[in-house]
């Protein structure tokens, strides 16, 4: 185990003294790397918009919640598909009109109230199983958990090098992405489809799961 990390289920997570310090650290990324965050946000929007048109999901009119959405690129992509979409983040980055203040460990929305939940930053979760539980709670029966991710630290990149999971702001790591999907399924979801979109460099693997 790496120094400063501990085991939680199939995951290893960075150790924080308490929840407050975790939130402070996660909030700091936008402040310290704003230009980079804006570049990534634009890439998120463009890439997600490209893959959404290929999905066999009737998007118009769906209520969509994007978790840890920061500057809202994902939200804008879903709105382009005719969804009623909103995001949450511990640091929404000002009054964007697309992202509210919120924590994906404690969602402020009613049980069974949302059609689709989107997540592309599980690596920033402190309590992954709680996040999965909250997603299931707010989704309507039969609702969609749309999950995008990168390789695990034991998986190889296309050029044959080992994937590098963590940067100083990341909180969670896993060895294999399929193991993560299996853990999600154990919390009350079934996998319907998967895809690989290399242009989405930060999280090129997508999974569509359905709430039971």
pLDDT, position 156: 74
Residue 29, pLDDT score = 77
Q: Rounded to two decimals, what is the model's pTM? A: 0.94
According to the model, what pLDDT value does residue 177 have?
A: 95
Choose among 55, 89, 94: nearest CA to 75. Answer: 89
- CA–CA distance, 161 with 159 (Å, rounded to integer): 6
Closest CA to 180 of 3, 12, 1: 12
Residues 122/132, Cβ–Cβ less than 8 Å? no
- Smallest Cα–Cα separation from 34: which of 88, 109, 93? 93
- pLDDT, position 165: 57
Dihedral angle over CA of 52, 57, 60, 64, nearest 10: -70
pLDDT of residue 93: 76
Instruction: Please state, in angstroms and rounded to a whole number, the distance separating the CA atoms of residues 212 and 143.
Output: 8
Q: What is the CATH class of 5-59+108-211?
A: alpha beta
Q: Three-state DSSP class for 1?
A: coil
**Structure-token pair, residue 20:** 């407050």
Question: For the chain, which residues make up each domain, given as ranges?
Answer: 5-59+108-211
Contact 209/185 with Cβ under 8 angstroms? yes
**Average pLDDT by consecutive 10-residue portion of the chain (212 residues)?**
86 93 85 77 94 96 96 96 96 82 97 98 96 98 97 79 69 95 98 95 94 94
How far is the CA of 58 from the CAs of 7, 46, 52, 139, in angstroms? 39, 20, 10, 16
What is the rounded distance in angstroms from the CA atom of residue 144 to the CA atom of residue 208?
A: 7
- For residues 173 and 12, what is the distance between their CA atoms, to the nearest angstrom? 5
pLDDT at 167: 77
């Amino acid at each position: 185990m790496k120094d400063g990390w501990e085991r939680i289920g199939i995951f290893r997570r960075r150790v924080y003294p308490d929840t407050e310090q975790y939130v402070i650290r996660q909030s700091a990324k936008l402040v310290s790397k704003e230009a980079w965050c804006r570049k990534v946000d634009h890439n998120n929007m463009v890439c997600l918009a490209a893959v959404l048109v290929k999905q066999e999901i009737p998007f118009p009119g769906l209520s969509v919640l994007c978790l840890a959405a920061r500057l809202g690129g994902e939200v804008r992509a879903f709105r382009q598909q005719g969804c009623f979409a909103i995001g949450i983040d511990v640091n929404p980055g000002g009054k964007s009109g697309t992202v509210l203040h919120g924590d994906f460990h404690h969602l402020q929305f009613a049980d069974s109230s949302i059609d689709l939940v989107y997540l592309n930053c599980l690596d920033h979760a402190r309590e992954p199983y709680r996040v999965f539980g909250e997603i299931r709670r707010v989704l309507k029966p039969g609702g969609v958990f749309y999950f995008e991710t990168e390789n695990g630290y034991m998986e190889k990149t296309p050029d044959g090098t080992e994937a590098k999971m963590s940067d100083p702001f990341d909180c969670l790591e896993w060895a294999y992405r399929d193991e993560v999907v299996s853990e999600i399924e154990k919390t009350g979801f079934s996998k319907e489809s998967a895809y690989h979109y290399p242009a989405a460099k930060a999280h090129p693997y997508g999974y569509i799961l359905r709430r039971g």
